[in-house]
């Protein structure tokens, strides 16, 4: 069935280092992928998205990479800051149009 | 409004009672979604409304769960005869019609439901 998962439940990085959060998806027909950030007590917040006809997209301090061959998605955060500490979810748009979310990776930024 | 709003922010109820959770989407957004998030878990899809189309109810966990969207705007998620396993944060999101511009969903702050 459709599923999106993350390789690591928790990632701990030093402030100023780059962070890489990984995600695997199973539906090869998915055409759109999104990364969300969720801070404690809040709803998820959009970070960046990518369509399946792209393999890389850059935003402000963030880059999303899509490897359709191995069905892998990653989020790179440059110069990680304490404010980046949160849970990060990847999501894919399935055949019916609804988003399917992964379990999430907790990013901890050490000062 | 400026964003998606949900009410109440917290709800504590006794097992067996019915609860109603409300979502006010962003004005002009035709798509509305409900998700459930248990502690430390990802988002579980519940139901999806898109314009005047029949809603996608494939994620509702049992017939105790139902949702409606009146006038294409406000939505209410109803849980009947609540059980302790229904305790979770219920999140609502809205988006424009999916298209070339993307599919971004804007989330509300959620309603934390606790069933005693």
B103·A34 Cβ contact <8 A: yes
Number of domains in chain B: 1
Contact residues on chain A for B56, CB-CB shorter than 8 A: 96-98
Closest alpha carbon to B11 in B1, B2, B22: B22
Query: Considering CB atoms only, which of A43, A91, A101 is closest to B110?
Result: A43
Length of chain B as a residue count: 116
Structure tokens at A62: 């963030």
Query: Residue B79, Cα to own-chain centre: how many angstroms?
Result: 11
CATH number at residue B53: 2.60.40.10
Q: Count other Cβ atoms within 10 Å, centred on residue B79.
A: 25
Facing B98 at nearest CB: one of A45, A89, A97: A97
Task: Encode chain B (116 residues) as per-residue pLDDT tens digits.
Answer: 579 999 999 999 999 999 999 999 999 888 899 999 988 778 889 999 988 888 999 999 999 999 999 887 999 999 999 999 999 999 999 988 664 446 688 999 999 999 99
Query: Does residue A1 belong to the interface with chain B, where contact is any CB pair within 8 Å?
Result: no
ω into A111 cis (within 30 of 0): no
With CB atoms and an 8 Å threshold, state whether B91 touches A34: no
Hey, of A1, A98, A105, A106, which one would you mutate to test binding to chain B, going by the most B CBs within 10 A of its CB? A98
Condensed to tens digits (0 to 9), the pLDDT of residues A61-96 reads 999 999 999 999 999 999 999 999 999 999 988 766
B104 closest CB neighbour out of A43, A46, A100: A46
Q: What CA dihedral angle connects B81, B86, B92 and B93, to 10 degrees? A: -130
The tens digit of pLDDT for each residue in A20-65 reads 999 998 888 888 899 999 998 899 999 999 999 999 999 999 999 9
Q: What is the CATH number of the domain that holds A64?
A: 2.60.40.10
Q: Which residues contact A22 (CB under 8 A, 6 or more apart)?
A: A6, A7, A8, A72, A73, A74, A105
User: Which of A44, A47, A89 to mutate to test binding with chain B, by most B CBs within 10 Å of its CB?
Assistant: A44
Tell me the Ramachandran region of residue A67: left when phi exceeds 0, alpha when psi lies from -120 to 50, beta otherwise.
Answer: beta
Number of domains in chain A: 1
Contact B81, B58 (CB under 8 A): no
Within its chain, how far is the Cα of A8 from the centroid? 12
Contacting residues of B for A41, CB less than 8 Å apart: 109
Residues in chain A, total: 111
Helix/strand/coil percentages in chain B, nearest 5:
5, 50, 45
Domain with A62, as residue range(s), is 4-110
* CA A78/CA B90 separation, integer angstroms: 32
Across the interface, of A34, A43, A93, the residue whose CB is closest to B91 is A43
Contact A99 B109 (CB under 8 A): no
User: What range defines the domain where residue B58 resides?
Assistant: 5-115
């Amino acid at each position: 069935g459709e599923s999106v998962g993350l390789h690591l439940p928790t990632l701990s990085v030093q402030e100023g280092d780059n962070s890489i959060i990984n995600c695997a998806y199973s539906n090869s027909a998915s055409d759109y992928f999104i990364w969300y950030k969720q801070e404690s007590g809040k709803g998820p917040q959009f970070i960046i998205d990518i369509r399946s006809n792209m393999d890389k997209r850059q935003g402000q301090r963030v880059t999303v990479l899509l490897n359709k061959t191995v069905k892998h998605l990653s989020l790179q955060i440059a110069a990680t800051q304490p404010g980046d500490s949160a849970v990060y979810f990847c999501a894919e748009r399935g055949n019916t149009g609804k988003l399917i979310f992964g379990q999430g990776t907790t990013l901890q930024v050490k000062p | 409004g400026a964003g998606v709003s949900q009410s109440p922010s917290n709800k504590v109820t006794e097992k067996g009672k019915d609860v109603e959770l409300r979502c006010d989407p962003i004005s002009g957004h035709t798509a509305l979604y409900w998700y459930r998030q248990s502690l430390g878990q990802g988002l579980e899809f519940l139901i999806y409304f898109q314009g005047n189309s029949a809603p996608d109810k494939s994620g509702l966990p049992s017939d105790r769960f139902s949702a409606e969207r009146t006038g294409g705007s406000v939505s209410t998620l109803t849980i009947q005869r609540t059980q302790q396993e229904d305790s979770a944060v219920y999140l609502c999101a809205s988006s424009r019609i999916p298209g070339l511009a993307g599919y971004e969903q804007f989330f509300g702050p959620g309603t934390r439901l606790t069933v005693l």
